[in-house]
Amino acid sequence: MKKHRIIRRLLDAVVSLLFIFFHPSYWLMNNPYSREWDHELVRLMNNLKFTEINAYHATIGDKKVWIANHPYASFTFSQNINPFEHTVSRPSRWTIYIARKKLQCDFNNNANYIYS
């Protein structure tokens, strides 16, 4: 079982690196990577859906995340009301990609959004 987990992590890392290599828009990021925020966002996405989407933010659980400037600054954690202020940490590039796909899926499957 442990061997399968190691192989799975290795394959995930290879797929992630190949994805980034072939998608130049993911090469440059505005904010530094935060492992803690990356793990927290993955946990939230595995258990919850995005809600209350507008042009700048989306809410997942009790977290309000910045979704504008994709992929350069998207999915950074934001507690600010001002849409032009957000934290300086971001999830991994692969998590940003997965989060964008989930956001689009959740947006299309729910009518309770505030999209402007």
Domain map (residue ranges) of the chain:
29-108
Which residues partner with 65 through β-bridges? 58, 77
Those residues whose C-beta lies under 8 Å from the C-beta of residue 112, and which sit 6 or more positions away, are 51, 52
Query: For residues 69 and 7, what is the distance between their CA atoms, to the nearest angstrom?
Result: 34
Tens digit of each residue's pLDDT (9 = 90 or more) over 26-56: 787 888 888 999 999 999 999 999 988 888 8
Q: How much is the pLDDT for 72?
A: 81
pLDDT band at residue 107 under the 50/70/90 scheme:
confident
Contact 90, 34 (CB under 8 A): yes
